[in-house]
Structure 1
Amino acid sequence: MTHAVQEAPPESVLDGLDAEQRAAASALTGPLCILAGAGTGKTRAITHRIAYGVRAGVYDPHRVLAVTFTARAAAEMRSRLTALGAPGVQARTFHAAALRQLQYFWPITVGGSLPQILDYKIKLLAEAGKRLRMTTDRAGLRDFASEIEWAKVSTLTPEGYLLHATDREAPAGADHQAFARLYQAYEDIKEDRHLMDFEDVLLFTVGMLESDERVAAQVRQQYRHFVVDEYQDVSPLQQRLLDLWLGGRDELCVVGDAAQTIYSFTGATPDYLLSFRRRFPEAEVVKLVRDYRSTPEVVKLANTLLADRRPGGAASWPAPLQLISQRRAGPSPELTEHPDDDAEASWVAEKVADATGTGTPLSEIAVLYRTNGQSQALEQALATAGISYQLRGSERFFSRPEVREGIAALRTSSLIADDSTESVPEAVRGVLSSLGWSSQSPSSAGAVRERWESLAALVGLAERLAEERPQLTLKLFLTELEERSAAQHAPTVEGVTLASLHSAKGLEWDAVFLVGLCEGLMPITFAQSQEELDEERRLLYVGITRAKTRLYLSSAAARHPGGRGRRKSSRFLIPLRRELGLEEPTRRIAPGNGKLSVNAAARKRKAAVCAGCGEVLTVGTQISRRRCAECPPRYDEDLFEHLRAWRRGYAQELETRAFMVFSDSTLEHLAEHKPLSDPELLKIPGIGERKLELHGERLKAAIRAFTDAG
């Protein structure tokens, strides 16, 4: 494989790129700005650009530094570059690149050992507060820690903070003067104990490069070409470090999208991206707008959300990129309202069950929310339904005991398997089967299932890498695992992903649920200024563009069952309702006939209504059943119970969960219509071609047995 890549002409690496991606990948020298919308293949463009430059002899791979914002993205970039025949390129986060330089040059420039990195600021801040006799609780300490992080990435010392932060709200109720004293006390304790925090890694590297020209010259000699991904999220401190790396040169490629700026609260700003042409007038600008991720329906909704915010006013609003989907048409996004959070969570669990029943893997489903506190109801609903899930940001994958055991067993196996004729996936499956992996997933939930999912993720990774790299060996696979462990780049775990919108950045799933879309959560209560509201809009945009095919947006009128239901749906849903034709019809008198306007009538026809009383339905479970809460069931209740009993036994026979066969709402429709032919079954919600093929004959036999007995 490697030999074939080296023999091919350099231009062959550009094969398969679209016109815009090819233009970006072909621009090898000078400043380049790639404005890349969500799902437009920016990573593909920049990795092919680097690989093309290496193979054309323009780049020395060891003198290229590609900077990303997450360890996962950096690991993914390194993996792609290796597959493209360009190993050796450094792809790191800002902090990882800076720390490496700091570790190398600290003994030369400062002397002695490098300060130890402080994992958490809270303990030292509590001690600093005691010294100053400041009353602090844990929530207040977290606010202080966040404010210190903002000050540092904004390159503000305690004294500088007092001068430049007068327009910021004082953290945790303390005035700016008191916070500045706390900030200084924290810095003093840190210095006394030879510690540095996460932001100090960048600050110390900046200080080292600014104060020692020899070190700066050596770093600039090492790196000649720079690529910065997610450039809309750089902070003033990161930009300052980047400028020092460049040293006045212009061999810089930046990639970003101002519409995806969602970390302003940490000091990130899109200003550097938006002003790139002013700084480098000769820079080439390439726009990537062909969306390969999402269906036209999802893309149109995302474009609509951004277009609803008009430029002008106190806050600047750059014209967003208009994405153009390259995929076939898919299902229309669903927008529903629920009486409370529990009802919303139950609806999500039911829809997840329906999706898995039609062939969507759990790993391709995500439920995203604005705050982490929203996950509890969702966890409970999924657990009750027997659906596995993973909380993004919880225990690290490579820290799990079963993963450590699995890697240790694979390492032992690799020592005695040099001459094995087994493929890597076969070897991995054989080793991990002794630790609890099997080709059939366990039907139970809990610890057994979680252990199996972790081991299955390792098997799946081996299978994927073997497809990408035909020369893969078990030792090379272990090297990949070690690199991923160091970067915390976990493979996919089979379970629904529960994550905050912020932590979902850079990821994608086939089906995405955006829940809790009500005022106070989206936009969040403390978003008051136009700039803050714009960021909330962009955050929802990021959430929408995570969906590849199916998108569900929902809100709940009350937090708890029985609540008064005073919550209002998010203001951001107004244009989306209009786009989806879900606005409540407004009675307008059309000239000459006194009837509802055509548009209003069309919207009315699209509304879901109760089959019994005709009431418009807004609750997800009621919509799926086509029945409001007040109307009695229209189905044969005896047949429904018969089908439930049949489903239970059939699911045990298949060694799967009952909901994976058919949901309760599908059974209700079956009990109402009593279909006995394939065309009739395909009319039932929740039954498609795949389910008909898998379960159709057994289902028809079950219905026929009931009707014959009657």
Structure 2
Amino acid sequence: MRLTEQQQAVVQHGQGHARVFAVAGAGKTSTMVARVLHLMAIGTPADRIMILMFNRAAREDFAARLRMLAPAGARLPQVRTFHSIGHRLGQSLMRWGALPARRLIEGEWQRERLARQVLQQLLVDEPAQLALALEEERIEALLQFCDLVKSECLPPARLHERGDYGADTEHFVPAFLEMERQMHEQGVMTYADLLYRPLRALIRDDRVRARIQGRLDHIIVDEYQDINEVQLRLLSMLAGDSASVMAVGDANQCIYEWRGARPDAMNARFSELFGTPADYPLSWTFRHGHAVSLMANHVIRANPGAADQLTLSAPDNPDTQVECDSGGTRLVNVLQSWQAQGRDLKECAVLVRSWSLSVPVQLRLLRENIPFQLGQQDRFVFRLPLVRALAGYLELTRRPELLQDSDHLLLLYSQPSAFVSQERLAPLTAELARTGRWPDQHIVLEGLRPFQRRHLKKRWALLQKLPSMRDQAPAYVLSHVVETLEAEKLLRRAAARRDKGEEDIRLLDVLIEQAGELADDPDAFIALLKDPVINQEQGVLLSTIHGAKGLEWPLVALAGLNEEDFPLYSRENPLTPQALEEERRLFYVGITRARERLLLLSDPPPHRLSRFVEEAAWEDSIKMARAIGSSQEGEPGVRDPSLVNRYLEGIGVENSLRVRAGQKTPAVLSQAGDWQPGEQVRHAVFGEGRIELVEGDRERCVLEVMFHRAGRRRLIASRAPIERVS
């Protein structure tokens, strides 16, 4: 096994705690295997070494590599995940009488059933809130909250106060407490308890803690930046005073804050738990070329707390080609060209920040007959209830007889949420389908609040009107549905977390935009939304960046690189400094998945290119990669000469190539003009429309325009391709 000097330094580390700062593609798994083999070679017993991996797949891969390289017949150390350690520790504590025995709830449906039972008890006198609380997404959010209480080691009230939870989630805290009480009575526990219960037992009892300590000399922890508080504390308990902890990871790739990870886990928090460690950099990446490394260095530098460590591309790496474009046509052309060169589509991945941003990509690939597969089939956007309902609203304009279909009406009453239980909606929609009239005195309406009755009746009026809109463009119909139902307000209220509400609203916008592209064939658009798509294993992979963590592909396209989409924010959900840093780390992870080719894709105007693309200095990075590859001499001009010169020194070419400060080109903004509500305008993409609202002035001027074909849009006046219609 050939190792770099930096990797050898890690392998040869002696006693004491250590941190290994490994950039993306730095060969950390090979380094950790070599470290374990070294410890065994110098006489450390295998049972005194433990390797902790982030998940089961990583554990199996590491164990296989270790078996392959270890001497034949050698006894090997244990390679585990935190949950497997927690399970084993819990079994020991139960045998010792330090923990009461409990049975693990393995089926998610069992947890959901328990949550529903508890909610029905807690909210029995609040039917509207109960109906909302029992919706599938809200149940999922409640269970995530329960897990986060245990992974963060926080009282539930404090977590709820600190977290970004939406309206109507006040029941989360009492629901957590009641679920805990019932699980105690039933003698059951969840996966989160595999770590949480042993930790609490160890904190309570010094004698039990002493019993589990002193058994290990070395603990190596992979993906350390992604472990949460309960894992950190349990690790500290296991290490005690005898074991040396080696933390291996990259704080710049901490992208799981929403489930308890913290970017300071490898920094201040490590020192709090283990004291001052020895630090080792793994700065050389063996994955991609200079352009991507320079982009990664530029973009992450904008995070105030980022480590001052550069990613350096090794000499034999691919010369990664980078380009930035707008719209889906370029993606199609690149994929078709890839195939024409004899390459496999399985080598390609399209990554997005959230699944809603994959909608334009999926529709474009479907229309072009390019096969694709989804990283998470259960997150297939077109199977989401909201998307199925929007397709159902459109379908009603083409097929009026669906007003007599109770199942179809139930779908349309379910999304966006009417905050009425399915048990009440089912008999109501059956009555509507049977009679075709609104039943003012129906028994189903008894007990509903006035606002619920008004909303249900208003939705029925909308459904009756839709068949008359057959000749309207799909985008206009969807905009009318969204406006009539005040869908954005409903989605924000229905979301357990504010960012989830914003993602759902963005999904509405994306579908309306896509409907505008297929305005001439509404039936085809409806069919695209309704027809299920089967994963094609030989196709392009579509995944979120979160799902792509730890993976790499020859060709990577990042799609949906629009400001307000990535980073995600809105006027109602502004961007905090902490959220911006996490979004930036997510972008950093996304671009560093590419080996040979990286394609950065935004959507056409009125969308604005994500700030992260500019922060990454992609044009300077391409320029410098070419200069390095051609052994060019001289002083090219770049935006950040200090960073680039440090990079040149890092790769050893500073004597032949230096850079200077380039001329900064100020952003020139066109004048917003004295726009007035009521004015008729023409947009280069959306056609003609009428201004309904004007906010701000000059470069901050935002127009709300109702377009005849594309529906309601919010535009930045100084950047939108619009003109007045005289």
TM-score (norm 2): 0.58
Shift of 1:322: 0.7
Identity between Structure 1 and Structure 2 (%): 27
d(CA) in 1 for partners of 2:278, 2:610: 39
1:52 aligns with 2:38: yes
Opposite residue 530 of structure 1, the aligned amino acid is P
RMSD: 3.3
Aligned match of 2:105:
116
Aligned match of 2:62:
77
Q: Deviations over 1:218-262 (max 9, x none)?
A: 543543321111111221111111111112334111112111111
1:393 aligns with 2:403: no
Question: 1:365–1:496: 8 Å Cα contact kept in structure 2?
Answer: yes
Question: 1:67–1:93: 8 Å Cα contact kept in structure 2?
Answer: yes
Structure 1 residues 149 and 280: alpha-carbon distance in aligned structure 2, compared to 1, 3 A threshold: closer
Alignment partner of 2:601 out of 539, 544, 554: 554
Q: How does 1:360-439 map to 2 (within 5 A)?
A: 360-394=343-377
Alignment partner of 1:532 out of 576, 579, 582: 579
Aligned match of 1:131:
121
Q: How does 1:480-491 map to 2 (within 5 A)?
A: none
Q: Deviations over 1:38-89 (max 9, x none)?
A: 11111111111011111232x2223322112122111111111111116632
1:512 aligns with 2:495: no
Opposite residue 361 of structure 2, the aligned amino acid is L
Opposite residue 61 of structure 1, the aligned amino acid is A
Q: Deviations over 1:661-680 (max 9, x none)?
A: xxxxxxxxxxxxxxxxxxxx
Shift of 1:165: 4.6
d(CA) in 1 for partners of 2:84, 2:193: 12
d(CA) in 2 for partners of 1:65, 1:372: 37
Which runs of no fewer than 5 residues in structure 1 stay unpaired? Answer: 1-14, 312-316, 339-343, 397-445, 454-492, 558-564, 584-596, 604-617, 620-710
d(CA) in 2 for partners of 1:117, 1:239: 24
SS of the equivalent of 1:106 reads helix
Opposite residue 32 of structure 1, the aligned amino acid is A
Question: 1:64–1:90: 8 Å Cα contact kept in structure 2?
Answer: yes
Alignment partner of 2:48 out of 63, 69, 72: 63
1:300 aligns with 2:294: yes
Aligned match of 2:236:
243
d(CA) in 1 for partners of 2:101, 2:146: 27
SS of the equivalent of 1:39 reads coil
Opposite residue 310 of structure 2, the aligned amino acid is Q
Alignment partner of 2:547 out of 483, 497, 503: 503
Opposite residue 291 of structure 1, the aligned amino acid is T
SS of the equivalent of 1:519 reads coil
Aligned match of 1:196:
189
Opposite residue 551 of structure 1, the aligned amino acid is L
Alignment partner of 2:172 out of 169, 179, 182: 179
- When structure 1 is superposed on structure 2, of 42-51 and 380-389 the one drifting more is 380-389
d(CA) in 2 for partners of 1:91, 1:381: 43
Structure 1 residues 122 and 248: alpha-carbon distance in aligned structure 2, compared to 1, 3 A threshold: same
Aligned match of 1:348:
331
Opposite residue 66 of structure 2, the aligned amino acid is L
Alignment partner of 1:101 out of 85, 89, 101: 89
Aligned match of 2:149:
151
Aligned match of 1:284:
278
d(CA) in 1 for partners of 2:273, 2:194: 27
Structure 1 residues 600 and 540: alpha-carbon distance in aligned structure 2, compared to 1, 3 A threshold: closer
Q: Deviations over 1:297-356 (max 9, x none)?
A: 11111112112x163xxxxx1334211101456253111112xxxxx2x54233222123
Q: Deviations over 1:203-228 (max 9, x none)?
A: 12213434556654554354332111
Question: 1:119–1:197: 8 Å Cα contact kept in structure 2?
Answer: no
Aligned match of 1:443:
none
SS of the equivalent of 1:192 reads helix
Aligned match of 2:258:
265
Question: 2:224–2:247: 8 Å Cα contact kept in structure 1?
Answer: yes
SS of the equivalent of 1:252 reads strand
1:569 aligns with 2:609: yes
d(CA) in 1 for partners of 2:214, 2:541: 43
Question: 1:35–1:287: 8 Å Cα contact kept in structure 2?
Answer: yes
Opposite residue 143 of structure 1, the aligned amino acid is A
Opposite residue 291 of structure 2, the aligned amino acid is E
d(CA) in 1 for partners of 2:576, 2:38: 45
Aligned match of 1:32:
18
Structure 1 residues 46 and 331: alpha-carbon distance in aligned structure 2, compared to 1, 3 A threshold: closer
Opposite residue 35 of structure 1, the aligned amino acid is F
d(CA) in 2 for partners of 1:304, 1:184: 46
Opposite residue 48 of structure 2, the aligned amino acid is R
d(CA) in 2 for partners of 1:113, 1:199: 13
Opposite residue 59 of structure 2, the aligned amino acid is A
Shift of 1:128: 1.7
d(CA) in 1 for partners of 2:319, 2:335: 18
d(CA) in 1 for partners of 2:175, 2:534: 47
d(CA) in 1 for partners of 2:45, 2:662: 64
TM-score (norm 1): 0.60
Opposite residue 333 of structure 2, the aligned amino acid is E
Opposite residue 142 of structure 2, the aligned amino acid is F
Structure 1 residues 323 and 181: alpha-carbon distance in aligned structure 2, compared to 1, 3 A threshold: same
Q: How does 1:575-614 map to 2 (within 5 A)?
A: 575-576=615-616, 579-580=619-620
d(CA) in 2 for partners of 1:579, 1:529: 28
Structure 1 residues 114 and 448: alpha-carbon distance in aligned structure 2, compared to 1, 3 A threshold: closer
d(CA) in 1 for partners of 2:167, 2:51: 38
Aligned match of 1:318:
306
Q: Deviations over 1:102-138 (max 9, x none)?
A: 2454344246563333525443322222111142133
Shift of 1:529: 0.7
Question: 1:71–1:93: 8 Å Cα contact kept in structure 2?
Answer: yes
Question: 1:144–1:172: 8 Å Cα contact kept in structure 2?
Answer: no
Structure 1 residues 273 and 310: alpha-carbon distance in aligned structure 2, compared to 1, 3 A threshold: closer
Shift of 1:448: 14
SS of the equivalent of 1:333 reads strand
Opposite residue 99 of structure 1, the aligned amino acid is H
Question: 2:51–2:79: 8 Å Cα contact kept in structure 1?
Answer: yes
Opposite residue 548 of structure 1, the aligned amino acid is R
SS of the equivalent of 2:603 reads strand
Opposite residue 149 of structure 1, the aligned amino acid is D
Shift of 1:383: 4.4
Question: 1:103–1:114: 8 Å Cα contact kept in structure 2?
Answer: no
Structure 1 residues 447 and 529: alpha-carbon distance in aligned structure 2, compared to 1, 3 A threshold: closer
Q: Deviations over 1:623-668 (max 9, x none)?
A: xxxxxxxxxxxxxxxxxxxxxxxxxxxxxxxxxxxxxxxxxxxxxx
SS of the equivalent of 1:82 reads helix
- When structure 1 is superposed on structure 2, of 508-517 and 70-79 the one drifting more is 70-79
Q: How does 1:329-348 map to 2 (within 5 A)?
A: 330-338=319-327, 344=328, 346-348=329-331
Aligned length: 462
Q: Deviations over 1:684-704 (max 9, x none)?
A: xxxxxxxxxxxxxxxxxxxxx
SS of the equivalent of 2:20 reads strand
